[in-house]
Chains A and B, each alone.
Chain A
Amino acid sequence: MFDTRQNIAVKTLPLTDENELLARVVEGDERAFGTIFHHYRRKIYSYAFHLSGDAVQADELVQETFLKVWLHREKLPQILRFDNYLFTIARNQVFDMLKKMAKEAEFRKQIAGLLDPEANPVEDQLLSRENELRLQHALDQLPPRQRLIFTLSRHQGMKHEEIAEQLQISRHTVKTHLVQALKTLRSVLRFPADGLLPTLLLLLTHHLCS
């Protein structure tokens, strides 16, 4: 946890009637909580957005932070400085967010070669266990044939001709399947690429409704 003593909020000062509002929050007063929420959310959002550059992540961080306050509101009477308490929670969330962003970046780096249609088939890459699972999960969403062709091409490094021969299909079909598989994986794994949004929507839809 952070040492809260040396981090006094300079930008968002406590509300004048804060203690009274907090006493009402403890009793479950939603309006009082709303006042506190709107007063402090700006600073938290702004820092989170500054660090992530992502409005959705910043929104989530605000939500998680205040959710903790709300769910543990019975603790509030023991808190001396509410702003220190709140910002400590928020900074812990920022810490988690950076960890998550770092993990995401690592994952992307590890599988980028695998998903680039222009790149040569990659030798078996050393993925962390978590990333391996994640890739496996994405592969599970491919139709069986695409998954097979992807594995043969990317993991086992087989040439299109070799795959075509082994599966008794045309080279063109191999290529079509592979392109489709890469496209699907990129969108499942949320790799940015042009014109993939419809595919992304479709995949999610597929997941939810079929």
Chain B
Amino acid sequence: MAYLFRRYVEKTGTPGEKEELFHLILNAEHDDTLRRLIAETWNEDHPSYPQDKSRADSILREILTHRASEPPPAASTTTRPPLPSASFNRSLRAILFNRRAASILGIVLLSSLTFHLFHRSKGSSIEHLPPPAVAAQTPPADRCITLPDGSKILLHKSARLDYQSGFTTKTREVTLHGEAYFDIHKDPRPFIVHTGAVRTIVLGTAFNINANNERDIVITVTKGKVKVENAKGEFSILRRDEQLLADSTHLKKTQVNLGVALAWKKTWLLFNDVTMREAMDTLARRYHLNVSFANPAAENCPVTATFNGEEPLGAIVNVLSKINNMDFTIDHDHVLIKGEGCK
């Protein structure tokens, strides 16, 4: 093992040797040896690789946003889950980058449900709302609301979201009763959801909270990282595919199948600043379609729209096309998007 590790560190090993090394690493019998080898090579001369400064700065910011009201107990550890690997994060970053590259666009809501829609007025205060500001409380049907910061919240059935002057220059804070899915708009201010005695602090972006029973709160993460802490100051960090059950005494983390865990929101289509291509591909998967674009440049036009999934396909495609001045035809299972699109 020492020989193989050396070869690997010195980049002289063959692919076969690397495979063999990784095979040995998997075996817990070699853990001590591996630790020793890491320690031995730690101070040796290696080529130096500079870290991207802006990445370093944003890492520092992320660490500091962990600032809790009270320091966490010394015994707590954050274990790294095996599943959501770095390459996932990389893909995610690629998407976020794409999103950022796309410009801001109109919002289209197409639904027979009554929406309480708060217009996106970034940074503006919501003090005019009477306290406690009840964002939405309607008959039991799922509703999608957009918060002043551009975050989209899908409220399940009779769920309610309160935010009394919760949006300040430092934080964005809301209180949830019931179950909701959150797609949080990236913003330097941490987004905090209060549920019973539990606080969920968003470091990344999308997750579901079920607080139907305020003593047993279930948080499920679909994107990015989320931190959950209880009144005792215990906390846990969740990533994609992880679920946390928070009761009055414990925080219990498990791996979940998102499709099953979040079945209730499956029918909804939330396009939050995605490209036309991404939106059409999502439709193509759902309705088993072939999609083509007469003008390839139109694929990158940005769209933001929400559908509850009950609209006919034609209506959805119509809205998506019209946002960017495009036209379309549907022939059996083939959708053709025409027109120049955005510029």
Residues of A with C-beta under 8 A to B8? 51
- In chain B, positions 267-282 with a C-beta closer than 8 Å to chain A are 268-272, 274, 277-278, 281-282
CB–CB B52/A55 < 8 A: yes
Stretch at the interface among B57-65, B107-115, B168-176: B57-65
Q: Which of A3, A28, A100 contacts B82 (CB 8 A)?
A: A100
Q: Which of B23, B222, B271 contacts A102 (CB 8 A)?
A: B23
Q: Is the interface of A mostly helix, strand, loop or mixed?
A: helix
CB–CB A70/B64 < 8 A: yes
- Report the interface size for chain A: residues with CB under 8 A from the other chain: 78
Q: Is the interface of B mostly helix, strand, loop or mixed?
A: helix
Given A100-B82, A130-B82, A201-B95, does the pair A208, B266 have CB atoms closer than 8 Å?
Answer: no
CB–CB A105/B22 < 8 A: yes
Chain B min CB distance to A94 (Å): 5
Q: Which of B26, B43, B95 contacts A106 (CB 8 A)?
A: B26
Stretch at the interface among B33-41, B130-138, B158-166: B33-41
Q: Which of A9, A71, A206 contacts B43 (CB 8 A)?
A: A9
Tell yes or no: B93 within 8 A of A by CB: yes
Chain A min CB distance to B67 (Å): 7
CB–CB A209/B90 < 8 A: no
CB–CB A63/B86 < 8 A: no
Q: Which of B19, B55, B91, B257 contacts A105 (CB 8 A)?
A: B19
Chain A min CB distance to B314 (Å): 18
Residues of B with C-beta under 8 A to A58? 49, 51
Residues of A with C-beta under 8 A to B255? 133
- In chain A, positions 86-135 with a C-beta closer than 8 Å to chain B are 87, 91, 94-96, 98-106, 109, 130, 133-134
What does the 1/0 interface line of B221-255 toward A look like (CB < 8 Å)? 01100000000000000000100000000000001
CB–CB B51/A209 < 8 A: no
Tell yes or no: A200 within 8 A of B by CB: yes
CB–CB B49/A50 < 8 A: yes
CB–CB A209/B274 < 8 A: yes
Chain B min CB distance to A70 (Å): 5
Chain B min CB distance to A36 (Å): 10
Tell yes or no: B88 within 8 A of A by CB: yes
The closest CB in chain A to the CB of B285 belongs to: A206
What does the 1/0 interface line of A152-195 toward B look like (CB < 8 Å)? 00000000000000000000000000000000000000100000
7 nearest A-B residue pairs (beta carbon)? A202-B281, A102-B22, A102-B25, A45-B51, A57-B86, A49-B49, A209-B270
| Pairs across A and B, CB under 8 Å, 27 listed | A2-B39, A7-B39, A7-B43, A34-B60, A37-B56, A46-B48, A46-B50, A50-B9, A54-B87, A55-B51, A56-B89, A63-B62, A64-B78, A66-B59, A71-B66, A72-B72, A74-B71, A91-B35, A95-B31, A102-B23, A102-B25, A190-B87, A200-B91, A202-B277, A205-B278, A206-B285, A209-B183
